[in-house]
Amino acid sequence: MTFESLGLHPQILKALTDAGYTQPTPVQQEAVPAAIAGRDLMVSSQTGSGKTAAFMLPALNKFANEPVEARAGKTPNQHAQAARSRGERPRFMPAQPKMLVLTPTRELALQVTTATDKYGTHMRRIKAASILGGMPYPKQMQLLARNPEILVATPGRLIDHMESGKIDFSKLEMLVLDEADRMLDMGFIEDIELIVSRTPATRQTLLFSATLDGMVGNIARRITTDPLRIQIAGASSRHENIEQRVHFVDDLLHKNRLLDHLLRDTAIEQAVVFTATKRDADQIADRLSIAGFAAAALHGDMHQGARNRTLNALRSGQLRVLVATDVAARGIDVPGITHVFNYDLPKFAEDYVHRIGRTGRAGRNGMAISLVNHAEGVHVKRIERLTKQTIPVDVIAGFEPKKTASTRSRPGWKPGDGRGKPAKPGKPGQRTFAKPGAPGKDGGYRGQRDSRSAEGRRG
């Protein structure tokens, strides 16, 4: 199948050709024609499957087939100028977007906006804007003053502008919930319901999620009308182009020595190291920098400017190791990422799939390595059940665990192998790394861990 067969406008086809797109992915093949036909959609699709184009191409196609005058409403600034020319006092005019895309994180919102600009590069007078936390309000007011047709936003900051009367959804034609499962995991259900309640009942609704079960399915059925259900998640969740490994560790000292050793592999072009907390991300990134790695942290407490600089450094190759929380698990598309390390296993097995999906992109192979305490073997089993894959256990000479995995049936571990008793939990938050030039030594580093939080709540 070709993009031409999907019925897309010639201006969009030209942009896709310029971007190097040759043929639609499975989710695009099913979702694009249905969305062009006006159907509401419930789509189960994993990260990296091409879902951004699956919902953005139909929207741009709709705008491209409208007369320019029909979609070029006056901006708030133009209304003000017209009022002044009539000798009237200008009154505030809210932005009236025709399409709204809700995303769980700022990074994903920016990625969607960038993709929109790329797909619509040959279209006249199509404006897309990102409204998200961490961006200065004056900048956002400038973007809204242009009255963008397409608004991409995180729920928290969007509600701020809705409540202050800066945005009016009375002319909204299409609503997209991107990675709906992640938004619900982050506690956005009430925000989503409030936003949906302010949109016209006549809108077209497209919902994309890694899973359509449970709470996601319930909210999808409430906000859609006779939706077409599309499931493309099965093959993607296996990530067959990504080699996966588990290394069991005795304690945090053992884990940090092993991470230091693994990161010195010359096969690594760029790597993402995932941690459970924001404080750990900062502290581990600092320690890796001291150890001589080009490393930086990325998490929800950073201002948007700092996050953008970090991501730009990653994309330009200036950064070799990104230490991140799950806020970065979805929305980062950097082909140079060859390795993903799970310093801490994710809370949900689904997040493991999204984490390792940061590597092996653009048709390349990748490597995903998890550093697992013996007591966490049950979490590995949950991941294996979800992905329907057995993750091999690996051991590196000189870094062998001295203790036995608490689950004797783990693949790769044999009964009676003489490795001792199950590991005792390490001290909460203890973090140690090898000193520069002396791998395997204790860096003398300690830190208290903070509690888990839904970072995306800040928008």
Question: Whole-angstrom Cα distance, residue 126 to residue 120?
Answer: 7
**pLDDT band at 93, cuts 50/70/90?**
confident
Report which secondary-structure segment, H or E, holds 372: strand 366-373
User: In this predicted structure, which of 171-175, 218-222, 224-228, 247-251 has the lowest mean pLDDT?
Assistant: 218-222
Tokens 């949109």 locate to 199
Sheet bearing 150-153, strands edge to edge: 128-131, 150-153, 99-102, 174-177, 204-209, 41-44, 228-231
Question: Is the model more confident about 4 or about 441?
Answer: 4
What is the separation, in whole angstroms, between the first and last Cα of the chain? 38
Residue pLDDT, tens place only, 408-446: 344 444 433 333 344 444 444 444 454 444 444 333 333
456 located within any domain: no
Q: How high is the pLDDT of residue 303?
A: 81
Of the ranges 96-100, 401-405, 446-450, which is most confident?
96-100
Do 311 and 415 share a domain, yes or no? yes
Do 280 and 192 share a domain, yes or no? no
364 located within any domain: yes
Question: Whole-angstrom Cα distance, residue 278 to residue 247?
Answer: 23
Residue pLDDT, tens place only, 373-384: 988 888 999 999
Residue pLDDT, tens place only, 187-239: 889 999 999 999 999 999 999 987 787 888 888 889 999 999 998 755 445 67
**pLDDT band at 86, cuts 50/70/90?**
low
Q: How high is the pLDDT of residue 133?
A: 80
Q: What angle do CA 94, 97, 98 make, to 5 degrees?
A: 145
**pTM for this model (two decimals):** 0.66
109 located within any domain: yes
Do 42 and 181 share a domain, yes or no? yes
Of the ranges 19-33, 131-145, 398-412, 445-459, which is most confident?
19-33
Single out the residue in 235, 257, 277 at which a domain terminates: 235
Residue pLDDT, tens place only, 26-63: 999 999 999 999 999 999 876 667 889 999 999 999 99
Domain housing 67: 4-235
455 located within any domain: no
Tokens 């001295």 locate to 402
For residue 330, CA distances in Å to 204, 212, 215, 433 come to 25, 17, 20, 28
Do 134 and 149 share a domain, yes or no? yes
List Cβ neighbours of 348 (8 Å cut-off, separation of 6 or more): 185
Do 245 and 181 share a domain, yes or no? no
Do 254 and 167 share a domain, yes or no? no
Average the pLDDT over 170-185 and give the result: 91
CA 264 to chain centre: 27
CB-based contact 368:338 (threshold 8 Å):
no
Do 230 and 267 share a domain, yes or no? no
417 located within any domain: yes
Do 200 and 252 share a domain, yes or no? no
Q: Which amino acid is at 246?
A: V
Q: How high is the pLDDT of residue 395?
A: 93
38 located within any domain: yes
Residue pLDDT, tens place only, 308-366: 889 889 989 999 999 998 876 566 778 889 999 999 999 888 788 888 988 887 668 89
Question: Whole-angstrom Cα distance, residue 151 to residue 91?
Answer: 23
Do 228 and 247 share a domain, yes or no? no
Please state, for a pLDDT cut of 90, what percent of the chain lies above it.
48
Single out the residue in 185, 203, 235 at which a domain terminates: 235
Do 331 and 442 share a domain, yes or no? yes
Q: How high is the pLDDT of residue 237?
A: 55
Q: In this structure, what token pair is assigned to residue 172?
A: 């909204």
Q: In this structure, what token pair is assigned to residue 378?
A: 């049950």
Of 399, 429, 105, 78, the C-alpha closest to 261 is: 399
Question: Whole-angstrom Cα distance, residue 183 to residue 105?
Answer: 8
- Mean pLDDT for the chain overall: 81
CATH of the domain at 53: 3.40.50.300
454 located within any domain: no
Do 248 and 212 share a domain, yes or no? no
Average the pLDDT over 4-23 and give the result: 91
Q: How high is the pLDDT of residue 405?
A: 53
- Domain count for the chain, please give it: 2
Single out the residue in 194, 211, 235 at which a domain terminates: 235
For residue 141, CA distances in Å to 129, 199, 308 come to 11, 21, 20
298 located within any domain: yes
Do 231 and 249 share a domain, yes or no? no
